[in-house]
Structure 1
Amino acid sequence: YGPHPPWHDVQLALRGPVVGDVEAVFRERWEDPAPLSRSPLTRLRERMHREDVHADRLPPQTPDPAPCGTHTVQLLRTYPNRLLLGYPFAPDGERSIARGYLKSLRRARALIYLEDQYLWSPRVVAGFAEALRRSPGLRMIGVVPAFPDQDGTLTLPMNLIGRINALAELRRAGGDRVAVYGLENHAGTPVYVHAKVCVIDDVWASVGSDNINLRSWTHDSELGCAVHDETPDPRSPRDPGGLGDGARVFARELRLELMREHLDLPDGDGDGDGDSGSDGDSDSDAAGGSLCDPVAAFEAFRAAAAALDAWYEGGRRGPRPPGRLRPYGPPDLPAGRRLLARPLHRVLVDPDGRPMGLRLRKRF
């Protein structure tokens, strides 16, 4: 990606009572008596440089801010099961991020829209694969980095093998209902996708620090927000999943905003009512006039990526087609490198932080 990589990321600004939950997380971490690092070298450096590693006393926590919107926000976390110096507020670890995803995936029926830095680990994508097998009308779009951010002789295969296996699991379950893309800017430079976003059926949305891999779901310290908007979205289809949940304004508009960016559509395009009788013939109508509809959105991504690929294959003659999407296909790894990469990936790249009982029962 070069020394100054193009970067795609997503964050939330939080207001209202959830701010009190964020402060509680901060306080738990700040007041945790465990050392900042278990590394002997790091602790030696702290002593040599007389670094201040002791937490100052915090003022009392103030009451939560008053409600100020229509969004119910659930703070989700991951903490590992630390055997010796465990977290006093999570002695067996915490995996509410994993549980939030798995609970929501059980209701997925129309479209899973995912942006993720890694999308690793068959043990994690199993929940997505199960949803695809259960619902033959369900589609899944993934937006990922085209290349890992580590490309060493050992680190590159370790990074690739998890995604190769994860995508194979998803495609076994969903076939051509699963589409994965990388991003590039208008200069043709790959864009590094650092976002961690998931929108399911335009109802449930998640944004946080957690990735779709075992490390983020069980091992690292992660913080994410699941958002359910109380305001129904009036645009068609009003209930994409058909379960009575109804599309919600926040989740749908988050998905549409990201899709417009990747399709090079102006703000407001792509949010039509999805009626098939539209007689608009502009490029924006054709590409995204009904992005609210899961099938139309899936096809709009496919068509934009195919057009850009065809432009490159044709020698880049004529104007560059709109959009930033390139179909993603992980490179093949020789059998010998796969054999070496698998155990290294499990131990070093994507470790499992669950208690042994949960590992054996394959639960979170």
Structure 2
Amino acid sequence: MFESAPSSPIEQLADFDVLITADEAWPAFERAVLGARSKVHGSFRIFDLRTKLRSAEAQTIGEDWFDLLCHVIRRGVTVSLIVSDFDPVMGTPLHELTWQTVRQGAALAEIADAAPGQLTITAALHPARAGMLPWGMLLPAVIKRKWEQVAGLSKDRLTRQSVLLGRNALPELRTVTHHQKMAVIDDDTLFIGGLDLNERRFDTPVHDRPAHESWSDVQMILRGGPEVAEAQKHLDTFLDVTAGKRGAPDLKWIKRTLSAPRRVQFPYLSPRTVVNEIEEAHLQSFRAAQHLIYIETQFLRSSVVSQALADAAVRNPELRLLAILPALPDSLAFDEEDGLDTRFGISLQREAVAVVQDAFGDRAVLASPVRPVMSSRDGLAVLAGSPIIYVHNKVLVQDDRFALIGSGNLNGRSMNWDTEAGVAITDPARLRLLRSKLMRHWWFDDLPPETMDLSTLYHWWATAIAANGVCLPENRTGFLVPYDPENNAHLAQALPGVTENIV
């Protein structure tokens, strides 16, 4: 098993920590919840109470998150969790996961002897639906899919898990979800980033797991300060905002994407965008960038984002770009699903990458992480002869002046439709810690000073990544090899007239 060499000490901050992969993030989250005095308030896409505990402190009271929450509830802590629900026809497996969590919550409340209102786990469907015109056009295909799904499920699963699938009413078409991953503990600690809670999301910084179990992600903990209060305000209000019952409160540090049903929805598939602060923050940082834009993202599909990057490259001939992307979408790499949504996503990413590469030329490096071993078989989850490491990170760092970490990807859906949240960082000490942890994560040995200096790091990274792409895995200096935009490019399917926000 590969193990990275010890790195030189990284600056520590009492009020801020960067957590790379679930191996670092989950123990920190467990300790924060274990220490809760009065309340835990969170919103996640997936939150499975069967997820195993990883910290030594939490393991002294139980084996999984069910045990941990039971422990703090018995101490009098109030727990409020909002888990995303999904269109039961188009997102049946995710819909089932959500209602498993709701049932876990009902059992937890009984076992912990929770007081009325002390534990709430809410399954939240985004209120936006397709208007009557697109709904009617898509209805025959949706009904066909519904009955295919129903036929494949037992009566027990339809009753207990796929609770909205078995209804006799005509299916709705829900096009939007709540995608954020965040929690506030006691009004003084914020846990935020791209990481949900179930065993599929577990990985370690050395990424020694098989490709289909790999999961690179970034989360942060902030203690005290205005970000925590703003995050709590967002958690308190986002359901009403997305329901169209109120406007979005003004926040400075928490950046959001929020949408709501249109007042006249009839001809529209899309919701009404209420705020797109995550997109705006990216565009503003691109315009302000002087030396380096550093991105880690699950998707690079937004034409708005790619064109803004291209414009920044043309405007500033000294500007350089480092972008870390997964080798393939997870639906294709691990499930070998090559349906129309996957094909459309591949097409959008090829177009976006081409725009960026044409503008930057040799001033841009796009890379993907792979394990430093030879792949044992041919397959889709392979790049440069090695098993891929799946990138789920959502990271932007601009020079040494600005960063944004959260749940939003660089696709139209995250920029305009789904509920997303991230935190903006401008404090110099926090930025140094963030950049150091992010960049060291991808390399095996201690890094020379030029790999961190904005004036010299690009050449070093570009040279090392290119070399990794053509040498044997055991001779590589890090996880990164060149990203291949032509990987399975034959599957790309453009859909003229279809909004890019759908994927």
Common fold by TM > 0.5 = yes
**Equivalent in the alignment of 2:372:** 186
Alignment of 1:41-80 (within 5 A): 74-80=253-259
> SS in structure 2 opposite 1:257?
helix
User: Which residue identity does 2:296 align to in structure 1?
Assistant: E
1:83 is aligned to 2:269: no
CA shift digits 1:205-224 (9 cap, x unpaired): 11000111111111111001
**CA deviation profile, 1:83-133 (whole Å, cap 9, x unmatched):** 1499xxx98511111222222221101000100000112222221111111
1:192 aligns to what SS in structure 2? coil
CA distance in 1, matches of 2:311, 2:440: 29
Alpha carbons of structure 1 residues 290 and 33: separation in structure 2 relative to 1, 3 Å? closer
After TM superposition, give the deviation of residue 333 of structure 1 in Å.
6.7
Q: Go from structure 1 to structure 2 and tell me whether the alpha carbon gap of 1:347 and 1:132 turns closer, same or farther (over 3 Å shift).
A: closer
Q: Which runs of 5+ in 1 are unaligned?
A: 36-71, 230-247, 270-287, 350-364
CA drift at 1:250: 2.1
Correspondence 1:330 to 2:485: yes
Matched, 1:224 2:403: no
Find the residue that maps to 2:213 and give its secondary structure. coil
CA distance in structure 2 between the partners assigned to 1:199 and 1:261 by the alignment: 15
Is it true that 1:311 corresponds to 2:471 in the alignment? Answer: yes
**1:251 is matched with which residue?**
431
Asked if the contact 2:394–2:405 (Cα under 8 Å) also holds between the matched residues in 1, the reply is yes
Task: Tell me the equivalent position of 2:440.
Answer: 260
| 2-structure distance, mates of 1:343, 1:328 | 29
Deviations, residues 203-245 of structure 1 (Å, cap 9, x unaligned): 101100011111111111100111110xxxxxxxxxxxxxxxx
Aligned to 1:20: 229
Counterpart CA distance in 2 for 1:110 and 1:341 is 36
Once residues 148 and 110 of structure 1 are traced to their aligned partners in structure 2, the CA distance between those partners, rounded to angstroms, is 30
Identify the residue that residue 171 of structure 1 maps to in structure 2: 357
Give yes or no for contact 1:158–1:344 (8 Å, CA) kept in 2: no
Aligned length: 266
Partner of residue 331 from structure 2, selected from 129, 146, 150: 150
Quick check: 155-164 or 218-227, which moved more?
155-164
Aligned counterpart for 2:309 among listed residues 112, 123, 128:
128
Match of 1:139 in 2: 320
3-state SS of 1:80 partner:
strand
Change (3 A) 1:33 1:79: closer
| 1:93 partner SS | strand
Task: Give the direction of change, closer, same or farther, for the CA distance of 1:320–1:121 in structure 2 (3 Å limit).
Answer: same
Residue number in structure 2 paired with 1:48 = none
Q: Does 1:104 align with 2:285?
A: yes
Residues 255, 424 of structure 2: 8 Å contact kept: yes
- Which residue of the partner structure matches residue 290 of structure 1? 450
Cross-structure match for 1:41? none
Pair 1:7 & 2:187 matched? no
Question: What's the counterpart of residue 396 of structure 2?
Answer: 198
Q: 1:202 to 1:79 in 2, by over 3 A?
A: same
Using a 3 Å threshold, how does the CA distance of structure 1 residues 92 and 122 change in structure 2: closer, same or farther? Answer: closer
Closer, same or farther: CA 340–322 of 1 in aligned 2, 3 Å:
closer
Letter in 2 for 1:105: F
Report the CA distance shift for 1:33/1:143 in structure 2 as closer, same or farther (over 3 A). Answer: closer
Q: Quick one: distance in 1 between partners of 2:278 and 2:422?
A: 7
Residue 82 of structure 1 contacts residue 93 of structure 1 at CA under 8 Å; is this kept in 2?
no
Q: Is the 8 A contact 1:73 1:225 kept in 2?
A: no
* Distance in 1 between residues matched to 2:467 and 2:497, nearest whole Å: 39
Q: Is the CA contact (8 Å cut-off) linking 1:145 and 1:193 kept in structure 2?
A: yes
> Using a 3 Å threshold, how does the CA distance of structure 1 residues 31 and 121 change in structure 2: closer, same or farther?
closer
**What are the equivalent positions in structure 2 for 1:226-241 lying under 5 Å apart?**
226-229=424-427
Partners of 1:127 and 1:297 lie apart in 2 by 23
Counterpart CA distance in 2 for 1:215 and 1:145 is: 18
Describe the shift of the 1:14–1:85 C-alpha distance in structure 2 as closer, same or farther (beyond 3 A): farther
Q: 1:255 Cα deviation (Å)?
A: 1.9
1:278-323 superposed Cα distances (whole Å, 9 cap, x missing partner): xxxxxxxxxx3312323532222222222222223xxx6xx42221
Letter in 1 for 2:452: C
CA contact (8 A) 1:129 1:173 kept: yes
**3-state SS in 2 of match to 1:153:** coil
Q: How far 1:139 sits from its partner (Å)?
A: 0.2
Query: 1:131 & 1:218 partners in 2: Cα distance?
Result: 22
1:172 deviates by 1.8
> CA separation in 2, counterparts of 1:29 and 1:222?
10
Secondary structure of the 1:22 match is helix
Please report how far the alpha carbon of residue 332 of structure 1 lies from its aligned counterpart in structure 2 after TM superposition: 6.3
Contact 2:257 2:415 in 1 (8 A): yes
Mapped partners of 1:92, 1:299: distance in 2: 40
Report deviation, 1:74: 0.8
Q: Which residue of structure 1 lines up, in the alignment, with residue 45 of structure 2?
A: none
CA contact (8 A) 1:157 1:333 kept: no
Structure 1 segments, 4+ long, off by >4 Å, are 1-4, 30-35, 332-335, 337-345
Q: Please, which runs of 5 or more residues in structure 2 have no aligned partner?
A: 1-208, 245-250, 266-270, 374-385
Native 8 Å contact 1:146 1:192 kept in 2: yes
Contact kept? 2:290, 2:399, Cα under 8 Å: yes
Q: Give the structure-1-normalised TM-score.
A: 0.66
Task: Indicate the residue corresponding to 1:346 in structure 2.
Answer: 500
AA in 2 matched with 1:109? Q
